A = this chain, B = another copy of it.
Amino acid sequence: MTYCVGMLMDAGLVFLSDTRTNAGVDQINTFRKMAVFERAGERVMVLLSAGNLAVTQSVVTLLHERMAQDGDSLLRAPNLFEAARHVGDCVREVHRRDAESLRAFGIDFNVSLIFGGQIAGEPPRLFNVYAAGNFVEATPDTPYFQIGESKYGKPIIDRIFRHHTPLEEAAKCALISMDSTLKSNLSVGMPLDLAILRRDELRVACLRRIEADDPYFQRLRVGWSERIQQAFTALPGLEEAGWCDGRG
């Protein structure tokens, strides 16, 4: 499995992905699930992928191939909407080529993508592209997307993250969300890839591979665990409910 999250803010975009892939439990590997497409000063885009690795790799490779050719590509799309359509077209091309053969082996054509960035003249935008090549766009009401093992890490994002959250705080929130997922699900694993895009910089502001022994991430994990325990302890105990004085 996988866990990836993409966050849209006034101030820019944050992307975080794990690197674990597994086929069953006995074939576990590390693959980058984050791809960056950049023409610095003009456009910058980040793609996070979950699902069948053969499918997601094919999509990313196709996107790079198209960039090296003359026709439509992420580098020529006039805006992020057209860029997301291009991503969807590449998903559909892989589907046309592979879906039937996969079906013959009982394998679903399983792919889910988070795609976002900024092209000069537009604000930052964020999309969730589905296996059918269609997509939805994030808005201030729902300014984030998750793909893969999304449920463990959703409560903390729902509590903390808003469209007006500063970039560094959003990245911290994404890391805490990832920590909860790592703790509860073996199919999500270190290292992580983090990308931060500041509005109107039109280049990646920060692109970081975070290893398991990274001192800051360690501090975050230990600190969060301790503070959660303290927060829990500080809450009023059940005896204050008065529920169990009789038999309720």
Question: Which chain A residues have a beta carbon within 8 Å of chain B's beta carbons?
Answer: 149, 151-156, 158-160, 168-169, 171-173, 176, 180-181, 183-185, 194, 196, 204-210, 214, 216-217, 219-220, 223-225, 227-232, 234-244, 247-248
Contacts and interface: CB of A to CB of B under 8 A. Distances in A.
A155 B180 contact: yes
B183 A158 contact: yes
Given A155-B152, A183-B155, A206-B247, A172 B227 contact: no
Given A207-B248, A247-B204, A228 B159 contact: yes
Contacts of A236: 216, 219-220, 223
A68 to B, nearest CB: 23
B206 A235 contact: no
B216 A227 contact: no
Contacts of A155: 152-153, 155, 180-181, 183-184
A244 B152 contact: no
Nearest to A173: B232
Main secondary structure of the interface of A (DSSP, over half): helix
Contact of A231 (B208, B228, B237): B228
Given A180-B155, A183-B159, A231-B231, A168 B238 contact: yes
20 contacts: A151-B184, A151-B185, A152-B155, A153-B155, A158-B184, A159-B225, A169-B238, A194-B243, A194-B248, A204-B247, A206-B243, A208-B243, A216-B240, A216-B241, A219-B240, A220-B235, A223-B236, A224-B235, A227-B234, A228-B228
